[in-house]
Amino acid sequence: MAIFPSFNSNFQRQLTSYFQPAQYRPQVPQYAAGPSPWQLGQLLQQLSQSLVQLQGLWSSLAGPNQQLQTPHPQPGTSSTLPPYPGDLGDISSYLQAQRLGGTLQGKTGIAQSDAIPGTRFGRVENPEAWQASVARNYAYQFAAYAVDADALSAQGVDTGARALPKMNPQAQLFVQVASVFKGNLLNGPGFYNNPGLKQLLVQQGLTGLASAEGVGETDVQTIGAITKALNSGQLSLDQVISSGTIDNMQRYQQVIGYVQSGQFNAALQRYDT
């Protein structure tokens, strides 16, 4: 198994947007002050529907009057949560491709040709399924950061995968939408205003989260910090949506629909089988 770098301060400063083809050169995104009232209403309606679905799953896993005790997610599980990868080398293979793509040098490429040979991540030919797998692993990195695990090691990312089913519905939905939004599915990528998200944390009095190294600068730390705040109940998805930190609200709404409708889950199940 490949050995990956620890989540050191140098890497924290250099890690940027995660998944773009080498030839992609994004323009500087423009952020509005916030969505229009109509957009906000549509988004909140979608979020409400998604959260109801996730809350039902969350409650059924916990059982009456019990703390949630979720086993390790199983490959091919049909639910609104991402199924755990069927190939146990998937996370390591993704991290190798991320590292070889130049993240240690502040670059953002990730290529299937850089995967560990013989792993599913290196051989799946369906583009949507493969990009969904990239998004799933990125979501696990957000979750890993949110539970204070090493988001750049296979063990830490696996910890994030195990933690995700135990998070509250708002955090579960956010990491899925954020990971797809940041990737190339649905004509992406999209961008968050990381300094704006840091300011949102400050406005809510969450200065400890906001002051952590990398928050407000890089994606894993910033979106991980927002995930942590959502999971603790100190921040709401409504506040994130209304903050003006999302560069393409129309596509963001499409991504919510992609996750809510089960299309993300279905693409992952195609990948895993």
Count of other CB atoms within 10 angstroms of residue 126:
12
268: closest CA among 129, 78, 126? 129
In a domain, 143, yes or no: yes
- In this prediction, residues 152-163 reach a mean pLDDT of 96
- Token representation of residue 14: 């250099």
pLDDT tens per residue, range 27-78: 446 555 566 655 656 665 556 555 555 444 444 433 434 333 333 444 333 3
In a domain, 52, yes or no: yes
Q: Say how far apart CA 272 and CA 62 lie, in whole Å.
A: 26
In a domain, 147, yes or no: yes
Weakest mean pLDDT among 1-15, 80-94, 191-205: 1-15
Position 164, amino acid: L
Place of tokens 């596509």: 251
Exposure class string for 244-269: b at 16+ Cβ within 10 A, else e? bbbbbbebbbbbbbbbbeebbbebbb
In a domain, 31, yes or no: no
pLDDT, residue 211, reads: 97
**H, E, C per residue of 226-248:** HHHHHHHCCCCHHHHHCCCCECC
Contact assessment for residue 11 and residue 102, using Cβ atoms and an 8 Å cutoff: no
pLDDT, residue 218, reads: 87
> pTM for the full model?
0.76
pLDDT tens per residue, range 171-184: 999 999 999 999 99
In a domain, 152, yes or no: yes
Q: Where residue 20 falls among pLDDT bands split at 50, 70, 90? A: very low
Full domain range(s) for residue 146: 15-20+37-61+77-272
- Token representation of residue 101: 């793509």
Report the DSSP beta bridge partners of residue 109: 20
In a domain, 26, yes or no: no
Quick check: 187 pLDDT over 80? yes
Total structural domains within the chain: 1
pLDDT tens per residue, range 95-119: 999 999 876 666 667 899 999 999 9
- In this prediction, residues 194-206 reach a mean pLDDT of 97
- In this prediction, residues 262-269 reach a mean pLDDT of 95
Q: Where residue 88 falls among pLDDT bands split at 50, 70, 90? A: confident
Establish whether the linkage from the previous residue to 189 is cis, with ω within 30° of 0.
yes
Coil, helix or strand at residue 19: coil
Average pLDDT value over all residues in the chain:
80
> What is the DSSP secondary-structure string of 163-213?
HGGGS-HHHHHHHHHHHHHHSSTTT----B-HHHHHHHHHHTT-HHHHTST
pLDDT, residue 248, reads: 93
Work out whether the CA dihedral 212, 216, 217, 223 comes out positive or negative.
positive
pLDDT tens per residue, range 48-61: 555 555 444 444 43
